[in-house]
Amino acid sequence: MFGSFIRQHDGAAWAHALDALTPSIHPVDRNATAIWFYFYPLGLAQAVEQSSDIDALKRELRIDGSFRLGDQVDSSHWFLFGHRYWPQVKAAIVSRCDAGTSTGGLDLVPIITEVAADVAEATGVDRTLLTGITAVGLMTLQQCGVASFRSGTASSARGAATHLTPDQILARRAKDDRQGLAGMFRGIRKQFSVTFDERRADGRFPIVNGQQLTTASANDTRDYAQSGPRVCHEGPIPVECRTASCGTCWVGVLSGAEKLSEVDAHEARRLKEFGYVRNAAGRPLIRLACMAAASGNVTIVVPTWNGFLGKKGLGDSLHTQS
């Protein structure tokens, strides 16, 4: 059965597949696809599946928020451009499960490529826009099982950016806010924008040059207390400590990683302890927002959970950032 075949793969197999497929993923979704796999690590899903006491596991790992992929089958990947085609991708995967499609080998790459190609042929959509969301769909199938995967209603993306083309989105992400006449004078600090939700026309907040993401987020006085699975007391980024001690403020950087300060030794150590990234250096895609200072416009996505997975090796099981 197709579902059983998918469940045979471990983190190493998925790492190989993602490395091989990355060049064939459209730039609009390359970072987003990698970030999704950081947000939903296979190791955590396997620990949950094997646990006889989920509440005890949550306490042990100090998990807060919505961490079960099975509860977010149709929504976890909202920040991928390919989410627009989720109904078609999901239907193609379900069709393979129903048909009992088998495969002659264990390599994930041809399976992901074939499913993406099938959807591309049926829809006329560029396959590069479907490869990332197809990989996400098959990992979701592996973690959730066929029954959970097929449940729910797959809907297309809606929001402020859905009318834009991939190239338009990339251009908008890359562009810094204009500084106007004030920026021409010394003593005037530059101000940029952090976009945290591309679905919303107002899904951004201002940030002063050299300011940490969480500090700028706290200045956004809109009410985010009930905006998601984790409580946000100060702005749209959850935060408790501001010293990289709690792990609540981890984010994925869709665009502008090069406009953030480099990871220092303290942040790198804490990212590993939380289990978010095994090895972090330079300006990676996963950051602790309280440590990352911006020098230009940045687009981020906030995960639905946080915890301490590093000591049990349940977090980042696919990538090594460098």
Q: Which of 4-8, 59-63, 105-109, 186-190 has the highest mean pLDDT?
A: 59-63
| Residue 322 pLDDT level (bands cut at 50, 70, 90) | very low
The closest alpha carbon to 213, from 182, 239, 184, 178, belongs to 239
Residue 44: predicted pLDDT? 94
**C-alpha torsion sign, points 140, 166, 109, 317:** negative
**pLDDT at position 320 over 50:** no
**C-alpha torsion sign, points 72, 170, 23, 100:** positive
In the chain, DSSP assigns E strands to 64-65, 191-195, 204-208, 250-255, 286-288, 298-301, 305-306
- Give 215-271 pLDDT, tens digit per residue: 999 999 998 877 677 778 889 999 989 899 999 999 999 999 999 999 999 999 999
What dihedral do alpha carbons 7, 90, 300, 180 form, nearest 10°?
160
Residue 285: predicted pLDDT? 96
The answer to whether residues 275 and 309 touch, using CB atoms and an 8 Å cutoff, is: yes
**pLDDT at position 48 over 50:** yes
- Give 193-223 pLDDT, tens digit per residue: 999 999 999 999 999 999 999 999 999 999 8
| Residue 105 pLDDT level (bands cut at 50, 70, 90) | low
**Domain layout of the chain by residue ranges:** 2-150, 166-312
Say how many C-beta atoms besides its own lie within 10 A of residue 322's C-beta: 8
Q: Indicate the fold that domain 166-312 takes in CATH.
A: Ubiquitin-like (UB roll) (3.10.20)
Rounded percentage of the chain residues whose pLDDT exceeds 90: 75
Question: How, if at all, do strands 250-255 and 286-288 pair?
Answer: antiparallel
**C-alpha torsion sign, points 226, 232, 235, 236:** negative
Query: Which residues lie closer than 8 Å to 86 by C-beta, 6 or more apart?
Result: 74, 77, 133, 137, 154, 155, 156, 157
